[in-house]
């Protein structure tokens, strides 16, 4: 079938991207779903730093690639051997499929799926190969989803069905921002009663972690970001204190659980320094592969501290998305507050500029 999607033509093209336009909105051909796959009509897609990281070269991927990995939509066709899903269901797309059989999947979310990671790196679906073409040439999939398009064929293990009462925008954000940020606190390092939580970096993922911290209601919540408007929003969403990162070291504030969600070395080092004795630092950001941080092993030992890496919030999407959806349903997780703007697909290059500037939380592409 013919679809319209945003294809990344070249990695590392200089900004502003609204002018250099590394992403081209064009017509493509999409194969029908194969065994274990479904065809989804995209309803909403979020613009995330993991998309930006491919555009700017922090996360090199094969090109041309149809970007987008945080989305929701309706199943409109079910391939053979995908009988767990039915046409008409609303689904949340997730950017790390889980085969359910490998050594990674046996860790209950702590480690990524091994074949899922391999297929993501190759720009293929979990079942192998590509379903996207342009002018007769293959186009790579982004993280098994490629959601910046009107339709997507995905492996059934890349989606989780949700009830119709979950709106498309909320469903989309559940699949990445909430799974990653919220999952860090739900799975990787759950705070205990009375323990303080700090979030360093208040993008979509960091703000989702803040919402999860408020929902868990364990203790003081400190929000750290260099953008004053984001600090104000964090206070409005339930943070008990908001600090500029320039002032963090001199403030003397240290917390039991610190989530680093900015994806850069300085933020990681600041998060580590702001972790209290006996505390845990969990990092979910994705800096450039060459980035290196400075750590004092003596301090880790003397203060009995723990550093945790958490990919996709150490989540099992089929287990955790229903939990977060129920929290939203109960009013405990106001996911709508993460949406900073709604855009058209044609605005995708400008959206990357907005994200890079630090002004945006979640820009939602509406189809």
pLDDT digits (tens, 9 = 90+) for 156-209: 999 999 999 999 999 999 999 999 999 999 999 999 999 999 999 999 999 999
pLDDT of residue 311: 95
Residue 272, C-beta contacts closer than 8 angstroms, at least 6 positions apart? 258, 260, 281, 293, 295, 307
* Domain shared by 161 and 21, yes or no: yes
State phi, psi for 28 to the nearest 5 degrees.
-135, 165
Banded model confidence at residue 151, pLDDT cuts 50, 70, 90? very high
> Is position 80 within any domain?
yes
> Is position 185 within any domain?
no
Mapped to the 3 state alphabet, what secondary structure does 97-161 carry? Answer: CCCCCCCCHHHCCCCCCHHHHHHHHHCCCCCCCCCEEECCEEEEECCCCCCCECEEEEEHHHEEE
* Domain shared by 248 and 128, yes or no: no
pLDDT of residue 359: 87
* Domain shared by 325 and 345, yes or no: yes
Of 277, 293, 309, the position where a domain reaches its end is: 309
> Is position 205 within any domain?
yes
> Is position 210 within any domain?
yes
Q: What is the pLDDT of residues 225-254, one digit of tens each?
A: 999 999 999 999 999 999 999 999 999 999
Of 261, 291, 309, the position where a domain reaches its end is: 309
* Domain shared by 24 and 110, yes or no: yes
pLDDT of residue 307: 97
Per the prediction, the chain carries an average pLDDT of 96
* Domain shared by 45 and 167, yes or no: yes
* Domain shared by 328 and 210, yes or no: no
> Is position 231 within any domain?
yes
* Domain shared by 278 and 252, yes or no: yes
> Is position 258 within any domain?
yes
Question: What CATH code is carried by the domain that includes residue 145?
Answer: 3.90.180.10
* Domain shared by 167 and 72, yes or no: yes
* Domain shared by 257 and 347, yes or no: no
Of 309, 336, 356, the position where a domain reaches its end is: 309
Q: What is the pLDDT of residues 90-126, one digit of tens each?
A: 999 999 999 999 999 999 999 999 999 999 999 999 9
Rounded to 10 degrees, the C-alpha dihedral 96/102/108/112 comes to -30
pLDDT of residue 243: 98
pLDDT of residue 163: 97
> Is position 184 within any domain?
no
pLDDT at 52 over 90: yes
Q: What is the pLDDT of residues 299-358, one digit of tens each?
A: 999 999 999 999 999 999 999 999 999 999 999 999 999 999 999 999 999 999 999 998
State phi, psi for 92 to the nearest 5 degrees.
-100, 130
* Domain shared by 318 and 304, yes or no: no
pLDDT of residue 83: 80
* Domain shared by 246 and 208, yes or no: yes
Q: What is the pTM of this model?
A: 0.95
DSSP 230: H
pLDDT at 84 over 90: no
**Segments forming the whole domain that contains residue 209:** 190-309
Q: What mean pLDDT comes out for the span 16-24?
A: 98
Total of domains in the chain: 2
């Amino acid at each position: 079938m013919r679809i319209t999607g945003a294809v990344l033509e070249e990695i590392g093209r200089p900004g502003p991207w609204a002018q250099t336009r590394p992403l081209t909105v064009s017509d493509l051909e999409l194969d029908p779903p194969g065994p274990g796959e479904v065809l989804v009509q995209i309803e909403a897609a979020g613009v995330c730093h993991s998309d930006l990281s491919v555009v700017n070269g922090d996360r090199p991927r094969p090109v041309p690639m149809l970007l987008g990995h945080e989305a929701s939509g309706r199943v409109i066709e079910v391939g053979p051997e995908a009988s767990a899903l039915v046409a008409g269901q609303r689904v949340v797309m997730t950017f790390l499929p889980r085969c359910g059989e490998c050594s990674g999947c046996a860790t209950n979310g702590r480690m990524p799926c091994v074949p899922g990671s391999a297929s993501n790196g190759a720009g293929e679906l979990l079942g192998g190969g590509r379903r996207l073409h342009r002018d007769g040439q293959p186009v790579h999939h982004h993280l098994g989803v490629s959601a910046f398009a009107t339709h997507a064929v995905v492996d059934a293990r890349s989606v989780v069905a949700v009830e119709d009462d979950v709106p498309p925008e909320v469903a989309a954000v559940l699949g990445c921002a909430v799974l990653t940020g919220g999952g860090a606190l739900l799975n990787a390092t759950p705070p205990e009663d009375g323990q303080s939580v700090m979030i360093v970096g208040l993008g979509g993922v960091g703000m989702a972690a803040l919402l999860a911290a408020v929902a868990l209601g364990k203790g003081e919540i400190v929000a750290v970001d260099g953008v004053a408007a984001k600090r104000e929003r964090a206070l409005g969403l339930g943070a008990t204190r908001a600090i500029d990162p320039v002032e963090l070291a001199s403030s003397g504030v240290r917390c039991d659980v610190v989530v680093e969600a900015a994806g850069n070395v300085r933020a990681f080092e600041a998060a580590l320094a702001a972790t209290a004795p006996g505390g845990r630092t969990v990092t979910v950001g994705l800096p450039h592969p060459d980035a290196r941080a400075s750590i004092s092993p003596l301090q880790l030992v003397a203060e009995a501290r723990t550093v945790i890496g958490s990919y996709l919030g150490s989540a099992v999407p089929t287990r955790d998305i229903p939990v977060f959806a129920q929290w939203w349903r109960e009013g405990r997780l106001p996911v709508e507050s993460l949406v900073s703007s709604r855009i058209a697909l044609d605005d995708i290059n400008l959206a990357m500029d907005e994200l890079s500037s630090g002004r945006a939380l979640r820009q939602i592409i509406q189809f």
